[in-house]
Amino acid sequence: MVCIAVSPAAFNAITATPSVRSFSFEAERGGQGERLIWLDASVVERLRAMHGPGESYSDVILRLV
């Protein structure tokens, strides 16, 4: 499992998507409202492969949903 930080909007999109199989998250939020989520390493690698210059994991997640 790999921990990444995502924006509140990306976190909400993940939790509203029934097809998301499994992930866990930290209860505390960061200073900007970001959430730390835990994903399988293969999922993080796919997100990394899909992101363009200047894009964050949150940007990729929002684009996909």
CB 49 within 8 A of CB 1: no
Instruction: Determine the structural domain holding residue 50 and report its residue range.
Output: 2-64
β partners of residue 2: 39
pLDDT reported for residue 20: 66
pLDDT tier for residue 38 given thresholds of 50, 70 and 90: very high
Query: What is the number of domains present in the chain?
Result: 1
Asked whether residue 27 carries a pLDDT value surpassing 90, the answer given is no
pLDDT reported for residue 47: 92
SS3 (DSSP) at 16: coil
Q: Which amino acid is at 18?
A: P
pLDDT, the chain, mean = 89
Average pLDDT over residues 45-56: 93
SS3 content of the chain, % helix, strand, coil (to 5): 40, 25, 35
Average pLDDT over residues 21-33: 83
